[in-house]
Amino acid sequence: MTETPNRYNLSRRDPHSKPLLSMTEPQNSDLEPTALTANAPTVVPSIIEDIASISMPQEQPEPMPSENFDYDVVVIGAGPGGYVAAIRAAQLGGKVACVEKEYLGGTCLNVGCIPSKAMIASVERLQHVMHADKLGVKVEGKVSMDFEAMMTRKEKIVQIQRGGVGTLFKKNGVTHFEGFASFVDQNTIEVTDKDKKKTKVRARYFVLAMGSSVIHIPVPGLTGGRENDVWTSDEAVSAHKIPKSMLILGGGAVGVEFGYVFNGLGSKVTVIEMMPNLIPMMDTDLGVELGKLLSRQGIVVKTGATLDKCEKSKTGWKCHVKKGGETEVIEVETVLLGVGRKANTDGMNLEKVGVKMHRRGVEVADDTMRTHAPNIYAIGDVTGRIQLAHVASHEGIRAVTNALKGESRLVDYKAVPNCVYTVPEVSSVGLSQSEAEAQGYEVSVGKFNFRPLGKAMASTEQDGFVKVVCDKKYGEVLGVHMIGAHVTDMIHEGVVAIKLEATLDYMVDTIHAHPTMSEAVLEAFEDADGHAIHK
C-alpha cells in the first residue's frame, strides 16, 4: 500500500502505470458527456441570497438510535469538516449529533476562508473603481474605503453563513450540542456547556473534527496580542484599524492574502518568507510570479529571509530581518504572524480511548480516516495533514460513509485543488514540475500567458499564466498551475483532468469557449504538445 509520497506525504498511483483516460484506447461510455448534460443550463445564485432565502424547514423525524446508544454518529466540531460529516451521516439515515464549543462553521466560516475573502472582495472592488478609467469609466470625487462598513459587511456574511449551517442541521435532523466534548470511554463523551453543565452522550461512532487554532510562534522580543499590535489571522479578520505599516511573517496563503488586503487599504506592507519564494507549497513559477506582481502593487517582498527578533518601539515594533548575511531593521506599527496553527486536542482524553497522536495532531490509521480506536474517525485540520476546508469536508463525507455503510474506502488525494485568493489569484492541482521530476517522471511542460488573450485584454486582466505538467511517456496530466484573474474557479478543469487520469491528447481535443480566460488552459496543453496557436 505504500506508494510514492507527494507533497502531503499521501499516496498516489504508481507513477509509471498507464492513465485511465486516454484517447488512444476505447473509453468507458459512462464518462462521455451526453447531449443532455452538455446543454444543461447552469444557474449560479449568490450563496448569501440563497441561504438567506431558505425558510425554516420542518424538522425531520429523528431516526431511532441503535441499541443502547443515544446516536449512531456524534461529530465533535462544526467546522467545514464536522458539519458536512454530520449532515451526510443524517442523509445516510443515521441518528446524528454534532458538538460545537464555539460557533457553527468553525475556523473557515468565522475566522478563516469566508471573512478573509469578504475583505479581499472589498479591497478588489476599491481597486477596480480606482482604476476604472482604464476602461473608460469616469469616477469623480474621492474614492476611498469605509473600513467600518467593509468590516460590518464581512461580519454580516459570517452571521448569515453561520445561520445557514444551523438551518441545514434542522433540515437534516442533526442535533446540535453547544459545549466542549471530552471522552469518558470509547462510546461516551461528556459535553460541558458554558454554564459548566455536563451531559453524557453515547454513540456507536465518533468523528473528531476539532480543527486547529492559531498559535503565536515564538519570535524573541515579540510579546502580547492585539493590545500590543501583535496580530494573528484571528486579529486580522476582526481588525479595528488599518495599521500605517505592517510586517507579515510568512509568505504562504494566509500571509499573502492579508498582505494584499492591508496593502490595498493603504498600509505599508512587508512580507517575510524564509523559503526562496512566496507560496512555497506550490510550483516555483507561481511563487516567483506572485512575488513580482505583489511587489508591483507596492508590497515589499523579502524571501529567503527570517525574523530574528523584535524590539518594542514608541510606535510599534523594530523588526530585525535577516537575509543572507545582512540584518535590516524594519520599523512597523503591527506585526502579523501569518504562520502557526495547532490541532485542537487538549483536554479531551483522546489517548485514554485509544486515539494515537503525532506531533501535528490526531493520527489516522489510514486514508479511510479511521483512528487507532476503531469506532473513532478523524478528519480535517485536527489530523495535521492538509489544512484546507474542502479537504476537511471531503474527508468527513468519506469517514461517515465508511462508518455507516461498513466500508473501508480511501480518500483519493490525487486531485486536491489549492487556491490563494490574492489579486491575481493563484491555484494549483497535482504535482509541481519539480515534484513530478523528483518522482522519476520525464515531463512535458506547457505554459501560456494570459496577456495575448482577447478576453484578458478586454477585461484588463492580462497578468499571469497557466502551466501544465504532463508525463511524456503516456501523456497523463500530472499538474496544472495557474496565476491570474479567476483561476481559483478555472482550476477545476485541471482537477477533473487529474482525477480522471486524462491525457494530453484528450485535453487538446477539448473545445474551449472563446473568448474566455480558459483558452489559456487549452493553449498551455497545446504548448506541452509542441504547438500553441497564439504563442
Q: Give catalytic residue positions.
A: 514
Query: In angstroms, what is the minimal distance from the CB of 529 to ligand FAD?
Result: 32
Closest residue to ligand FAD, judged by C-beta, is 211
Buried-exposed string 99-129: b where 16+ CB fall within 10 A, e elsewhere: bbbebbbbbbbbbbbbbbbbbbbbbbebeee
Output the 3-class SS for 46-98: CHHHHHHCCCCCCCCCCCCCCCCCCEEEEEECCCCCHHHHHHHHHHCCCCEEE
- 300-303 and 212-214: which strand pairing? unpaired
Q: Nearest 10 degrees: CA dihedral of 106, 108, 111, 112? A: 160
What are the angstrom distances between the C-alpha of 69 and each of 72, 77, 128, 186, 302?
Answer: 7, 20, 56, 12, 56
Number of other residues whose CB lies within 10 A of the CB of residue 529? 17
Nearest residue (CB) to ligand FAD, 108 versus 174: 108
Query: In angstroms, what is the minimal distance from the CB of 344 to ligand FAD?
Result: 4
User: Residue 512 has which C-alpha cell?
Assistant: 474551449
Element containing residue 273 per DSSP (H, E): strand 268-273
Query: In angstroms, what is the minimal distance from the CB of 107 to ligand FAD?
Result: 3
Output the 3-class SS for 138-161: CCCCCCCCCHHHHHHHHHHHHHHH
DSSP state letters, 177-207: EESEEEEEETTEEEEE-TT--EEEEEEEEEE
End-to-end Cα separation, the chain, in angstroms: 43
Nearest residue (CB) to ligand FAD, 77 versus 251: 77
Query: In angstroms, what is the minimal distance from the CB of 224 to ligand FAD?
Result: 20
At 426, phi and psi to the nearest 5?
-135, 140
Nearest residue (CB) to ligand FAD, 344 versus 402: 344
Q: Which residues bind ligand FAD (CB under 6 A)?
A: 76-82, 99-102, 106-108, 112-113, 116, 180-181, 209-212, 233, 254, 344, 348, 380-382, 387-390, 392, 421
Nearest residue (CB) to ligand FAD, 78 versus 310: 78
User: Residue 151 has which C-alpha cell?
Assistant: 468590516
Which residues does 220 contact at the CB level (< 8 Å), separation at least 6? Answer: 308, 309, 310
Query: In angstroms, what is the minimal distance from the CB of 382 to ligand FAD?
Result: 6
Query: In angstroms, what is the minimal distance from the CB of 424 to ligand FAD?
Result: 15
Query: In angstroms, what is the minimal distance from the CB of 348 to ligand FAD?
Result: 5
Nearest residue (CB) to ligand FAD, 182 versus 368: 182
**C-alpha 418: how far from chain center:** 6
Nearest residue (CB) to ligand FAD, 394 versus 447: 394
Nearest residue (CB) to ligand FAD, 151 versus 456: 151
Instruction: Please give the DSSP secondary-structure letter assigned to residue 351.
Output: G
Query: In angstroms, what is the minimal distance from the CB of 64 to ligand FAD?
Result: 25
Nearest residue (CB) to ligand FAD, 97 versus 319: 97
Nearest residue (CB) to ligand FAD, 388 versus 400: 388
Number of other residues whose CB lies within 10 A of the CB of residue 416? 22
Query: In angstroms, what is the minimal distance from the CB of 520 to ligand FAD?
Result: 23
Query: In angstroms, what is the minimal distance from the CB of 328 to ligand FAD?
Result: 27
User: Residue 83 has which C-alpha cell?
Assistant: 458539519
d(CA 332, CA 274): 19
Element containing residue 484 per DSSP (H, E): strand 477-484
Nearest residue (CB) to ligand FAD, 78 versus 278: 78
Q: Residue count of the chain, please give it.
A: 535
d(CA 206, CA 353): 12
Residue among 265, 245, 266, 247 nearest 255 (CA) = 247
